[in-house]
C-alpha cells in the first residue's frame, strides 16, 4: 500500500463518525475510511463484496480506530494475496473493537481530557488567554500520536498491533491521569475558594467546609441527580441565603 493511499486513509479517519447512527454506529464511517485502500486491492464484484464486509456493525473509540483499521488494511492485503490467516478481518474487527473502545474511553475521555481541562483552568483562573491553547496542546499531542502512529503500526504489524498496544498499558496510565486530575482539581478548587473568601473578607479556614459540600454534591451526582439540577439548586440556595440569610 503506497504512502499516498495511507495518507488518504489517515485524513479520512478524522471523518470516521460523520454518519454515526444508532443502528450500526460507526460502520459506514469505517467503510469510508478504508475505501481508498479497498479500491487499490479489489475490482468490481470483489470490491463490492469488500464494501459489504465493512458495512457490518462497528464501534470503537474514534482515536483507537486508527490501529484497528490499519490492521484491517493489512488483513485485507493478506486476503487479497490469498494468504489469509486463521483470523479474518471481520472476526478481528469484531473481537478487538470493544476492548479498544474501553481503553480509549478510559484514557482519552476519562483521563487525558479532564487533566488537560484542569491544567487549562489554572490559566483561566488567572485570566490568561493561554488557557485554550494549553488545553488543545495537552490533549492533541497524544491524540494525534495515536491517530498517526496507530494507523502506521496497525498497517505494518497487522494482528501483532494488539501486543504492541498492550505494552503501552493505557488502562494503568488512565488511572494515573485520573489521580493527577483529582489532585489538580483539589488545588484549583482551593485556590478559587481562597480567592473568593479573601474577596468577601472572610477567614480562609471556612474554605475547609467546601470538602463536605463537594462530597455531598458528588454523592448526589452518583445517585443520578443531573448536573443542571445540581448547579441550578446550588445557585438558588446561594441567592436565597444572601437575600434572606
Interface residues for other proteins in 89-108 (CB under 8 A)? 101, 105
Interacting residue with other proteins among 9, 25, 75, 146 (CB under 8 A):
25
184 contacts other proteins (rule: CB under 8 A): yes
The stretch near other proteins (CB under 8 A) out of 84-92, 149-157, 160-168, 175-183 is 175-183
Asked if residue 57 binds other proteins (CB under 8 A), the reply is no
Mapping DSSP to helix (H, G, I), strand (E, B) and coil, where does residue 38 land? Answer: helix
**How far, in Å, CA of 102 to CA of 46, rounded?**
33
Residues in 153-172 that interact with other proteins by CB under 8 A: none
Which CB, 31 or 158, lies closer to other proteins? 31
Residue tagged 456493525 (cell numbers): 57
Sign, CA dihedral 133-138-141-142, equals negative
Q: Is residue 239 a contact residue for other proteins (CB under 8 A)?
A: yes
Smallest gap, in angstroms, from Cβ of residue 101 to other proteins? 8
Cell readout for 131 is: 488557557
Cβ contact 71:158 at 8 Å = yes
- Asked if residue 231 binds other proteins (CB under 8 A), the reply is yes
> Does 201 participate in binding other proteins (rule CB under 8 A)?
no
Selection from 77, 76, 101, 102 nearest residue 89 by Cα: 76
- Phi-psi sector, 82: left (phi>0), alpha (psi -120 to 50), beta: left
Q: Is 213 in the site for other proteins (CB under 8 A)?
A: yes
Amino acid at each position: 500500500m503506497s504512502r499516498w493511499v495511507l495518507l488518504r486513509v489517515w485524513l479520512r479517519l478524522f471523518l470516521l463518525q460523520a454518519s454515526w447512527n444508532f443502528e450500526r454506529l460507526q460502520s459506514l464511517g469505517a467503510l469510508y475510511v478504508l475505501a481508498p485502500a479497498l479500491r487499490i486491492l479489489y475490482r468490481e464484484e470483489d470490491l463490492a463484496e469488500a464494501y459489504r464486509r465493512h458495512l457490518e456493525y462497528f464501534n470503537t473509540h474514534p482515536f483507537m480506530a486508527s490501529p484497528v483499521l490499519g490492521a484491517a488494511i493489512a488483513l485485507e492485503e493478506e486476503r487479497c494475496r490469498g494468504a489469509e490467516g486463521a483470523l479474518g478481518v471481520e472476526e478481528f474487527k469484531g473481537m478487538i473493537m470493544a476492548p479498544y473502545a474501553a481503553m480509549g474511553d478510559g484514557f482519552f475521555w476519562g483521563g487525558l481530557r479532564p487533566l488537560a481541562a484542569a491544567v487549562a483552568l489554572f490559566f483561566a483562573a488567572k485570566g490568561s488567554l493561554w488557557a485554550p491553547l494549553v488545553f488543545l496542546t495537552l490533549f492533541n499531542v497524544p491524540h494525534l500520536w495515536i491517530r498517526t502512529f496507530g494507523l502506521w503500526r496497525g498497517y505494518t504489524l497487522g494482528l501483532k498491533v494488539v501486543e504492541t498496544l498492550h505494552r503501552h498499558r493505557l488502562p494503568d496510565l488512565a488511572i494515573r491521569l485520573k489521580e493527577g486530575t483529582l489532585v489538580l482539581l483539589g488545588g484549583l478548587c482551593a485556590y478559587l475558594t481562597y480567592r473568593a473568601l479573601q474577596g468577601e473578607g472572610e477567614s480562609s479556614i471556612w474554605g475547609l467546609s467546601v470538602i463536605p459540600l463537594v462530597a455531598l454534591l458528588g454523592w448526589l451526582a452518583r445517585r443520578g441527580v443531573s448536573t443542571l439540577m445540581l448547579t441550578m439548586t446550588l445557585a438558588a440556595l446561594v441567592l436565597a441565603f444572601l437575600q434572606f440569610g
